[in-house]
Amino acid sequence: MSFILENQALFSVAAGIILLLLLILKFKIHAFLSLLIASITVGVLAGMAPAQIITTVQNGMGGTLGYVATVVGLGAIFGAILEHSGGALVIAENLLNRFGLNKAPLALTITGFIIAIPVFFEVGFILMVPILYALHRRTGKSLLYYAIPLLAGLAVTHAFIPPTPGPVAVADIVGADLGNVILIGFMAGIPTTMVSGLLFGKYIGKKFFITPPDAHADKNEQINKRVSFSMVLWLIGVPILLILFNTVLNNSISGMQGTRIAELFELIGHPFTALIIANLLSLYFLGIKKGVSRKQLQEISARSLAPAGVIILITGAGGVFKQVLIDTGAGNMMAASLSDIGFPLLLFGFVMAALVRIIQGSATVAMITAAGLVAPLIPEQSPSAEMACIVIAIASGASIFSHLNDSGFWLVSQYLGMNETQTFRSWTMMTTILAFTGLLSVMFISAMI
């Protein structure tokens, strides 16, 4: 009897995943609605009572959004204010001046790594495109020589380091501490960026000579001089440092637990409070102090929440999918099966995210779907650092092989003036190198913990 129930639960999960992909790919139904339909289908096929399915949907959605909606919303407002102030271009200009033209790829790698912390990947790339064109005109080198390092920096941070939405959502679904995710994300992200950005960029920049497309060839870079480099770095660093201090001080190893300073950072170092502080500082230093009206700041904040709302809802639906696996018992059965065959959980998370990413294109959907599958498999009392490693493994898998079904593929192709073959051999290859380097890095880190 138990064998039949086990097979029924596992069959329901497989059917749910297949249905999810069909709804998104064939019927073009939005990922939010598709995830909810797939979750309910899993519950029905697994034999859950109708009332229990509805309760599971409510618990999964509510339990996830209470945290994610707050962090993603605050992060979106912070990024929008930084974008409006011209902070991203100020970082790029200063780093290029400090490193010089000979080390411009390194400067662009660092630029991408920094600005993707508060700003969405697509926005960061579009903001930096004029810089790429200018460097091409000044040096005569292929656009790819400069674009790939920048894109790698943007992509790694966007996938690996909170408070960007992807890792925030996955961390919440699997139950990982955000401070540990930041630490592990940086540790795995630096070698990943160096390999996929600097090393591969140098190679591919010599392989293909790419020039700006005609429509953008004369586009002039406009760098906003109103804000200082140190101010922008300080504002980006404030929430990250507060979250990290909270993680370190309230870790049993530190010996600071229960002290007043640890309790203080438990409040101001929580992602909610840290991002509220960052928002208030940016509203004043990048807005009011620079002559931006309160009405403008209100409009900027409101506009920023539109794309954040989509990510929040998809994440909530991913939480529902996770809850269904827990409540049906399918998660425990999958965990037992993986344990029996000796399949590492890190690798399972990577493979699941990679499959969903390649099939349907969206890295965010891939991360959230894989997190929902992996979360019920994580043993209780797992070390927090190990759960953070799982987050980065999932993020690596969700970054792999960007191709024709990914909007990022066409964005890069359009702005760099490449055909599909060139984009496959440069951008797609870079994302694949990024994914495998990220996996190897986090597996090494996990083995050392």
Q: Write down the pLDDT at residue 123.
A: 87
186 Cβ neighbours under 8 A, 6+ residues apart: 160, 161
Q: Write down the pLDDT at residue 379.
A: 86
**Residue 421 CB neighbour total at 10 angstroms:** 9
Q: Write down the pLDDT at residue 36.
A: 95
Q: Give 8's pLDDT tier (boundaries 50, 70, 90).
A: confident
Q: How far is CA 236 from CA 187, 282, 360, in A?
A: 18, 9, 32
Per-residue tokens: 284: 């004043």
pLDDT-wise least confident of 63-72, 139-148, 241-250, 251-260: 251-260
Per-residue tokens: 273: 């409070």
Pick from 205, 201, 93, 203: nearest CA to 149:
201
Mean pLDDT of 393-403: 96
Mean pLDDT of 293-299: 94
- Which sequence spans correspond to the domains of the chain? 68-448
* Angle separating helix axes 2-25 and 345-360, nearest 10 degrees: 40
Q: Tell me which amino acid residue 261 is.
A: I
Q: Give 254's pLDDT tier (boundaries 50, 70, 90).
A: low
Give 345-389 as a DSSP string.
HHHHHHHHHHHHHHHH--HHHHHHHHHHHHGGGSPTT--HHHHHH
The residue ranking higher by pLDDT, 99 or 13, is 99
- Average pLDDT taken over every residue of the chain: 89
Mean pLDDT of 275-297: 94
Mean pLDDT of 155-176: 94
Q: Write down the pLDDT at residue 253.
A: 66
Pick from 98, 85, 94, 208: nearest CA to 146:
208
Three state DSSP letters for 110-161: HHHHHHCCCCCHHHHHHHHHHHHHHHHHHHCCCHHHHHHHHHHHHHHHHHHC
Could you read off the pLDDT of 73-120 as tens digits, one per residue? 999 999 999 888 888 888 998 999 999 999 999 999 999 999 999 888
Q: Is the pLDDT of residue 433 over 60?
A: yes
Q: Is the pLDDT of residue 375 over 50?
A: yes
Q: Is the pLDDT of residue 175 over 80?
A: yes
Mean pLDDT of 408-419: 91
Q: Is the pLDDT of residue 223 over 50?
A: no
- Alpha carbon distance 226, 385 (integer Å): 40
Q: Which residues of 43-61 are buried (b: 16+ CB within 10 A; e: fewer)?
A: bebbebeeeebeebbebbb
- Cβ 177 vs Cβ 247: under 8 Å: yes
Q: Is the pLDDT of residue 444 over 80?
A: yes
Rounded to 5°, angle at Cα 389 from 384 and 393: 150
Q: Write down the pLDDT at residue 339.
A: 67
Mean pLDDT of 398-411: 90
**Percent of the chain at pLDDT above 90?**
61
- Alpha carbon distance 304, 78 (integer Å): 9
pTM here? 0.86
Could you read off the pLDDT of 229-249 as tens digits, one per residue? 999 999 999 999 999 999 888
